[in-house]
A and B are shown apart, each in its own frame.
Chain A
Amino acid sequence: MTLKRIFPFIIVVGLIIGSSPSLAYSEQPMDVLQGPVDQIVKILQDPQFKNNANRKLQTKQLKEAIDKIFNFGLIARGTIGRYDWNKFTLGQRSEFKKIFSEFISNVYFNKIQGDYSDVKISYLEQVMRSDTSARIKTVVIRESGEIPIDYSMKLIDGKWWVYNVFVEGPSLLGNYRDEHQRILLKGSYADLIEKVKKKIEKQKSKK
């Protein structure tokens, strides 16, 4: 077999190998998002949970579905500017991540526990911003009107995670970065963590 005859095969094989990383990403971020989000809506609309005795189970199921797609640690990290983050001690970093994750998951949790009996979600578009980064556009349709909600997703260790949510333009990450930046400009880490803890207390007292 001459080199000339092998050459086209090498090209073909090269193409197959070259294209394989994109094959690895055949799991589309929109599908990854849609599974748990639809599940959340289903749990919220499930008539068996109208009964208060089943509330605990509902909460558990919701938390599981939420934790499947939201990377709260990453969200917490993004709300602190690089400069401020570097000033935090290692202990403060992990404490902040833990406390803020709890707060922000409660925020999301309380939001969806509003009236979701008539909600429908349509998944409009998946915009790939790079191989590992996507924006998913959705709209939440309620009887009183429509709310556009976009999700930013990132592929980390082979799994797609949500790290930002846009509601009609403003984003979760942007709003909290704005808040935290202002607090840390005037105050210290202690002031910040105290504010988050106070909010968590308030969330608990409302339940």
Chain B
Amino acid sequence: MKKVLFGFFIIVLVLTGCAHQPVADSSAKKNLSANDTEALNSESGNTEDEDLDFLYEEAEEGVSDVADPIAPWNKAMFHFNDKLYFWVLKPVAIGYKTVMPTPARKGVKNFFHNLQTPPRLVNALLQGKGKGAWSEFARFMVNSTIGVLGFWDPAEEHLKLKPCEEDLGQTLGFYGVGNGFYIVWPVLGSSTLRDTFGSIGDSFLDPVMYIEPAEASLGARSLLLINTTSLTLGDYESFKDDYYSPYEAFRNSYIQYRKNKVEK
């Protein structure tokens, strides 16, 4: 009898344990909101009572505090790039898109990406990312041969070798170099002092820069720009639609985008 009673006792305990869940849940929530009395008090009349620290912290983390001492120049260049996009790049890219089907444009993208392996490989090494550097090396070998000069990407498709998107700006950031300040370059777009030095350094390792004669190199870079534009048509327009002041929103997004890359 005792045993039966004890078994019953355990079953009751277990069941109440289960039934107890929502209660435990809401009491945990009460503890949470108690931490945030300031928000609670200011919220009188508002039914919301959860602790909002998580929300505020994440919002604040997403705001960049980059210096912008040359804002007038930057704004002028932003405006110039905006016009360049709508009047030149976009119409050309649309024309290009009509004659080049998506797989072909993806091939062009892959070709340039493969050609520009050296700066990625070197920067992966500079940051001690052996696995990434190896992946870049193996990708280059496989894609240049089996992938026919890099137009295809069998390395990722069949060998699951992911590219390691590193550049000198990220390497400098990795070693603690700050952004400096925000710069907008004509055609090239958003950058910072650090990333500008990075781009210049990387360009010495970029085979596209060594194409002779200089006109051919410029042509190759233009093709890359048009090809990239054709694959991202509409993105810039939609970004501009989403924010009240595109210049500042673009600046914040760029800094956050780079911060995320440096941390990776």
Chain A interfacial positions (CB closer than 8 Å to B): 1, 9, 13, 16-17, 20-21, 23-24, 73-74, 77-79, 81-82, 85-86, 90, 93-94, 107, 110-111, 114, 131-133, 143-145, 152, 154, 156-158, 163-164, 166, 168-171, 173-175, 177-179, 181-183, 195, 199, 202-203, 206
Chain B interfacial positions (CB closer than 8 Å to A): 2, 6, 10, 13-14, 17-18, 20-22, 24-25, 28-29, 32, 38-39, 42, 44-46, 48, 50, 52, 54-56, 58-64, 102-103, 105-106, 109, 231-232, 234, 238, 241-245, 248-249, 252-253, 256-261
**19 more A-B contacts (CB under 8 A) besides A17-B20, A145-B231, A163-B55?**
A21-B28, A74-B55, A77-B48, A90-B44, A93-B46, A132-B32, A170-B62, A171-B58, A171-B62, A174-B60, A174-B61, A174-B62, A174-B63, A178-B63, A179-B244, A179-B249, A182-B248, A195-B244, A202-B241
Q: Which of B42, B52, B62 has the most chain A CB atoms inside 10 A of its CB? A: B62
6 contacts between A and B (CB under 8 A): A9-B6, A24-B22, A24-B24, A173-B55, A178-B63, A181-B63
CB-CB under 8 A for A175 and B253, given A16-B17, A17-B17: yes
User: Within the complex, what minimum Cβ distance (angstroms) separates B110 from chain A?
Assistant: 11
* Contact indicator A169/B22 (Cβ below 8 Å): no
- Of B13, B54, B238, the contact of A13 (CB 8 Å cutoff): B13
- The binding surface of chain B is classed by DSSP as helix
CA of A87 to CA of B106 in the docked complex: distance in angstroms?
51
A-B contact count (CB 8 A): 152
* Contact indicator A170/B256 (Cβ below 8 Å): yes
User: Within the complex, what minimum Cβ distance (angstroms) separates B45 from chain A?
Assistant: 5
What residues of chain B lie closer than 8 Å to A156, measured between beta carbons?
50
What residues of chain B lie closer than 8 Å to A16, measured between beta carbons?
13-14, 17
